[in-house]
Amino acid sequence: MSPGEASPAGGKSTLASSSATAACVADPGAVVARLLDPSARQALTGGLVQTLDDAARQSFADAASEGAVVAVRSPEGTWQKAYGLGDPAAKTPMSEDAYQRIGSVTKTFTGTVVQQLAQDGQLKLDDPIASYAPEVPNGEAITVRMLLNMTSGLASYTRDENFMQELFSDPTKAWTPEQLLTTGLALPPLFAPGEKFNYSNTNFILLGKVVEKVTHKPFARVLDELVLTPLGLAGTSMPGGSDPYPAPHAQGFTLQGTADAVTTLVNTTSWNPTWAWTAGQMVSTAEDLLDYGRALGTGQGLLGTESQIQRLMSFPETGGYGLAVGCIDGWVGHTGELPGYNTSVFYDTNTDTTVVVAANSDIPSGSCTDSKTLPETSPTLPCMDPATRIFKAVSIALGHEFTPPPKR
């Protein structure tokens, strides 16, 4: 999650709200019932290894990132490799076990916790948000479900120019969820609840507060109890501003917050992530995200059959954003950006394959008209963020191409 509203598939999203359908996932019931092949955790062998390496290497060369980690898990086995540098100043190679700020992939964790509480009867997805936060404009008409699928009409606090100016002028500042909500809820609603789609970080800060109100516990503790510990995600956490960034981690680089003519990379490694909280504050590893990505797609270890099928049927007709997760042609998952970092986590519901790409840059490359790029970017390539570009190439190598929405 960058301060701009990037869609979960790597581009600007203008999807309208639509009735739920299973079109993006051909057979949700079969996906939920699918067992993990024992061979999946073994090292992948054979010609596909070279094919994946070639695709990742070539696309990495076209991505505006110093380094990247690419991981694939299919029924045939697991492949993982690091490319480039984790720290260009020290010439340190990128590490396969590097921790990564995963940005808006955090939203899928938050959404999963909310669905878990719903299936346990502690809340309902059609509860009005006014029941939990009476200060929300249109709160009687906005449901928890609308927050999850980005149809609430609430503007993201990152639309506030004063907030953005303060964020970039003092990126080490610690923010509270209450400050983020005050900023977001002061902005005029963008449309009537349920009328349209608009990607808003304010929605997921509200969902974090709903979780805390229902459970009477800090969100990070609930997350650990319901998701991280059950799945054994030992490398995944939600460090705050005063918590150390787990090591090893790559240095992150961005152009966000710089003047139009400036193309000097800004190191964001020590920036405070609390401005993103339950919308984007988490850290994870490629290994953990392989396990989590499959669980996100199948629901196994996270949600019951009925709840997971509901999630897999929550997408607009041709794919798009559902219950805190995106879908394009059967690929279910999310992208994430925090200044300096870009992550893609997607599960192919057709082939039982999970792909994770983590890059230490959020700078797009290609023929971008709105997004700032580096001078050496290729104008003949479509505009894409680093992790999305590599993921697309890897998906082609796997035989099921992922086609992200256009990015400008």
pLDDT at 377 over 80: no
Three-class SS state of 143: strand
Mean per-residue pLDDT, 324-341: 98
Alpha-carbon span 401 to 408, nearest angstrom:
21
Q: Is 48 exposed, middle or buried (0-12, 13-18, 19+ CB in 10 A)?
A: middle
Tokens 């997760």 map to which residue?
A: 325
Q: What is the pLDDT of residue 3?
A: 54
For residues 311 and 115, the answer to whether their CB atoms sit within 8 Å is yes
Expressed as residue numbers, the domain containing 49 is 28-104+218-398
pLDDT digits (tens, 9 = 90+) for 34-74: 999 999 999 999 999 999 999 999 999 999 999 999 999 99
pLDDT at 327 over 50: yes
CA dihedral 120, 116, 326, 254 (to 10 degrees): 150
Q: pTM of the prediction?
A: 0.95
231 is a domain residue? yes
pLDDT at 173 over 50: yes
Which letter, b or e, does each residue of 76-109 get, where b requires 16 or more Cβ atoms within 10 Å of its Cβ? bbbbbbbbbbbbbeeeeebbbebbbbbbbbbbbb
Three-class SS state of 118: helix
pLDDT digits (tens, 9 = 90+) for 200-210: 999 999 999 99
22 is a domain residue? no
The answer for residues whose C-beta is within 8 angstroms of residue 204's C-beta and 6 or more apart is 106, 107, 110, 111, 147, 278, 279, 324
For residues 297 and 347, the answer to whether their CB atoms sit within 8 Å is yes
Alpha-carbon span 44 to 40, nearest angstrom:
8
Tokens 């500042």 map to which residue?
A: 173
Q: Is 32 exposed, middle or buried (0-12, 13-18, 19+ CB in 10 A)?
A: buried
Q: What CATH number did the domain enclosing 381 receive?
A: 3.40.710.10
Domain count, the chain: 1
Q: What is the pLDDT of residue 335?
A: 98
Region for residue 175 given its phi and psi (left: phi exceeds 0; alpha: psi -120 to 50; beta: otherwise): beta
pLDDT at 31 over 60: yes
E strands, 265-392, where?
Answer: 266-267, 283-284, 320-321, 326-328, 331-338, 341-348, 353-359
Q: What is the mean pLDDT of the chain?
A: 94
Handedness of CA 191, 195, 199, 205 (dihedral sign): positive
253 is a domain residue? yes
pLDDT at 196 over 60: yes
Which tokens go with 366? 């290609």
pLDDT at 8 over 80: no
Q: What is the pLDDT of residue 35?
A: 95
Q: What is the DSSP letter of 303?
A: S
pLDDT digits (tens, 9 = 90+) for 286-310: 999 999 999 999 999 999 999 999 9
Which letter, b or e, does each residue of 323-346 get, where b requires 16 or more Cβ atoms within 10 Å of its Cβ? bbbbbbbbbbbbbbbbbbbbbbbb
197 is a domain residue? no
Tokens 């104008």 map to which residue?
A: 379
pLDDT at 90 over 50: yes
Counting residues of the chain whose pLDDT is more than 70, the rounded percentage is 95
Mean per-residue pLDDT, 366-373: 93
| Maximum Cα interatomic distance, the chain, rounded to a whole number of Å | 58
242 is a domain residue? yes
115 is a domain residue? no
For residues 172 and 267, the answer to whether their CB atoms sit within 8 Å is no
- Phi, psi torsion values for 391, nearest 5 degrees: -60, -45
pLDDT-based confidence at residue 10 (cuts at 50, 70, 90): very low
181 is a domain residue? no
Which tokens go with 37? 């092949």
127 is a domain residue? no
Which letter, b or e, does each residue of 215-239 get, where b requires 16 or more Cβ atoms within 10 Å of its Cβ? beeebbebbbebbbeebebebbbbb
pLDDT digits (tens, 9 = 90+) for 237-259: 999 988 999 999 999 999 999 99
- Phi, psi torsion values for 284, nearest 5 degrees: -155, -175
pLDDT at 283 over 60: yes
Q: Could you tell me which of 370, 375, 373, 403 has the C-alpha nearest to residue 389?
A: 403
Alpha-carbon span 14 to 187, nearest angstrom:
19
